[in-house]
Amino acid sequence: MYHNPVLLKESVDGLNIKEDGVYVDVTFGGGGHSKEILKRLGAEGKLFAFDQDEDAQANALGDPRFTLIAENFRYIAQFLKFYGIRKVDGILADYGVSSHQFDKRKEDSLPDSPQVLICA
């Protein structure tokens, strides 16, 4: 289970959502920010989200205004071009660490195996 985003309202407020705008969430994760963006978009708005994590992809939102791209966001230009998007009105990037990542790491490790955490 993913965490609830910290500063959700403040983060999305900062995008100044236009009802017919095009937005990108480059760190989809549990979809918390994307859900809030979709609440503020009108019928003509679009939201693209990126996440290469299979767990995150399982959280895809069933909304016709939403497209989840199962790739690293470094390919943002190529995918937006593919979808015919020439400009976006806002990009959200939550670079914080999700507790889900630590919980998942714990589940995937063997009991008594050494744990390594590398921070850059």
In a domain, 116, yes or no: no
Domain with 51 in it: 8-105
Task: Give me the tens of pLDDT residue by residue for the chain, a chain 120 residues long.
Answer: 556 777 899 999 999 999 999 999 999 988 999 999 999 999 999 999 999 988 888 888 899 999 999 999 999 999 999 999 999 999 999 876 655 455 555 555 455 545 545 554
Residue 61 half-sphere exposure toward CB, CA atoms < 13 A: 25
Residue 101 located in a structural domain = yes
Rounded distance between C-alpha atoms, residue 64 and residue 71, angstroms: 20
Tell me, what CATH number does 92's domain have? 3.40.50.150
* Rounded Cα–Cα distance for residues 46 and 113 (Å): 44
pTM of the shown model: 0.79
